[in-house]
Structure 1
Amino acid sequence: MVDTAHQNTAVEGVEGGIGVTALLVAAARAIETHRPDSLARDPYAEHFVLAAPPSAKWPLRTEHVPDGDANPLWGRFARYFGLRTRVLDDFLLQSVHTGGARQVVLLGAGLDSRAFRLDWPAGCVIFEMDREGVLAFKHKVLDGIQATPKAARVALPMDLRGDWAAALTDAGFDPAAPTVWLAEGLLFYLPAAAETCLIDTVDRLSAGGSALAYEVKLEKDLLEYRDSPLYTATRDQIGIDLLSLFDGEPRPDSAGDLASRNWTTSIRTPFEFTHRHGRGPLPEQNDALAGNRWVFANKSPS
């Protein structure tokens, strides 16, 4: 018997709102994968894009875009996501290979395929947390292509605005062991109180030697950039109004909060990594990326 309820949940998980943004990132990763100067390769990304009705006709190569890299969405914005993927891939792998952590928690994992495409050391466990529908869609696609993870993988359907700590520990997470945490493209969508709660929970569950990376926006007024080419192209070309999805409340100083709790923090702009890697977005006028920051934090071993 076909489990139609599960199939419907899988489709609905990426049909609207924030779920569609996961498809946008997957499309950007597919485009990045096929660039001759690729920063990150994700062979699973295009399968997600093609499997979902909202994105099935989106481009998967720059040559599929009439104006190529000059297109604000499929050029500059897609390259931004490719750069972000590379930087956070490097962060995770360095944390487990050099830092020795063997637990990795992907908060708001979306269509992240890192458990399947990165080379993890023996003994690593990857915990993926996101809404039920998103994970159901992800599993449907990955099962369909017989994808095999390169580390032990535990998927937890959870709303990260709620109390998820108990579910994580019940699934085998060990708070006494160092952990690498990642919140990629998540905090934009959470109310300020939920962000504060999430950071509090990460700190409480992190043993010494743990590491955390996340992304924030620092603009005081997001609407100042409403006419930015990135936002207008996203609205016009694929019907996603990102500003309507972002939470507009003033953001908490999560990096400062972590620094007061025995974490060493580093706040970077994406453009710093563009210069480091020799490719990626650079600042421009009326730039929707101007306030984006990538935060890296390490908790003292003692």
Structure 2
Amino acid sequence: MRPAAGLNAGVAEGVGRTALLVAAARAIETHRTDALARDPFAEHFVRAAPVSAGWPVRPEQVPAGEADPLWGRLGRYFGLRTRVLDEHLLDSVERDVRQVVLLGAGLDCRAFRLGWPPGCAVHEVDTAGVLAFKQAVLDGTRATPTAGRRTIAADLRLDWSEVLLNAGFDPAAPTAWLAEGLLLYLPAAAERRLMATIGRLSAAGSTLAYEIKEIAESPRVRASPVYAAARQRLGIDLLALFDSEARPDSAGELTKRGWTVAVHTPYDFTARYGRGPRPEPDDALAANRWIFATAPA
């Protein structure tokens, strides 16, 4: 059953459509025998939106398999990213963090698919349109969250702290923050505000994981098959959606504030798990960095 036409608006265009791209990649990953992460809800989102209803959601629906630049290479990237960031959050709650904030939560269902300890609250922050579509699809699956789930509609380019606090967020408690696939699309000033807000609301022991592109990509990289396939086959122009301003050194700023910061490439985790994307010439993933930080005690 598809949501009403108006509810599809949140994922029909722009950055909202990229949430469907990631959902399709997670669905394909879920049905692999060697899956790094499983999201049983992902394919429901893909099938529910008219713009993505014909996209693949299983490995056998991708004729070129691993060689496909979109559902093979980029799909492996999203599967690996999901696994790594899942483990970041679960490692945080193992250290007694009981408050999770997913900034730009998109269509991921961590509040439903991960095993959270008792008393854990998961705050999902995204646009009203994305959250409405997500909820309509989840209602159709009769999904039950495994944590206290709170959805917060906000524009992350602006000040979102007040709506988070009004939803029950406790700034005195340590928090596991996650900005997955978000900062690539934010203006530099919005990224600075977001990081300042996280710093202001983070109690000792809080953790943060986020993704950036470290450098501007060359014309040869921008012409890579990954970007071309997303544009030509899905109507998603990632390069046009990425903010073109010089990026702030958020990791450096966190370090100056006393946070412990580790910067990784995706390939660090490909080596760890034995699956995932590998470097290639004119690589659209080479500039991507996954950053993990812990607030000072």
Amino acid at match of 2:280: E
Which residue, 72, 84, 89 being the options, matches 2:86? Answer: 89
Give the aligned residue type for 1:204.
R
> Which residue matches 2:287?
291
Deviations 1:162-182 (A, max 9, x none): 111011111110100000000
Whether the 8 Å CA contact 1:222–1:243 is kept in 2: the answer is no
**SS class of match (2:151):** strand
Secondary structure of 2:152's aligned partner = strand
Write the mapping of 1:140-179 to structure 2, written as runs, cut at 5 A.
140-179=136-175
Aligned-pair CA distance for 1:8: 4.4
Shift in Å at residue 63 of structure 1?
1.2
- CA deviation after TM superposition for structure 1 residue 220, in Å: 2.5
**Structure 1 residues 80-139: Cα deviation after superposition (integer angstroms, max 9, x where no partner):** 000000000000000001x21100000000001000000000000000000000000000
Shift of 1:198: 0.2
Contact 1:9 1:136 survives alignment (8 Å) = no
Secondary structure at 2:208 match in 1: strand
1:30 correspondence with 2:27:
yes
The code of the aligned residue for 1:140 comes to A
- Taking every aligned residue pair, what percent have the same amino acid on both sides? 63
Q: State the Cα RMSD in Å.
A: 1.1
1:78 counterpart = 2:79: no
Match of 1:185 in 2: 181
Aligned to 1:265: 261
Residue 277 of structure 1 corresponds to which residue in structure 2? 273
Alignment of 1:174-253 (within 5 A): 174-221=170-217, 223-253=219-249
- 1:57 aligned to which of 29, 54, 57: 54
**Match 2:132 to one of 133, 136, 139:** 136
Q: Is 1:107 matched up with 2:100?
A: no
Deviation at 1:9, TM superposition (A): 4.1
Unmatched segments (≥5 aa) in structure 1: 1-5
Q: Which amino acid in 2 is paired with 1:178?
A: P
Distance 2:5 2:262 in 1: 42
SS in 2 for 1:39: coil
1:95 alignment partner AA: S
Letter aligned with residue 236 of structure 1: Q
SS in 2 for 1:287: coil
Residues 222, 246 of structure 1: alpha-carbon distance in 2 compared, 3 angstrom cutoff: farther
1:13 corresponds, among 10, 14, 37, to 10
Q: Report the equivalent of 1:3.
A: none
Aligned amino acid, residue 171 of structure 2 = P
TM-fit CA distance, 1:225: 1.8
Q: Are the aligned partners of 1:109 and 1:129 in contact in 2 as well (CA < 8 Å)?
A: yes
Counterpart position of 2:37: 40
Distance apart, 1:7 and its partner CA: 3.8
TM-score calculated relative to the size of structure 2: 0.97
The question of whether the paired residues in 1 share the 8 Å contact of 2:217 and 2:287 is answered with: no
C-alpha deviations, 1:56-81, integer Å up to 9, x for none?
00011121112111100010100100
Q: Which amino acid aligns with 1:28?
A: A
Secondary structure of the equivalent of 1:14? helix
Are the aligned partners of 1:223 and 1:243 in contact in 2 as well (CA < 8 Å)?
no
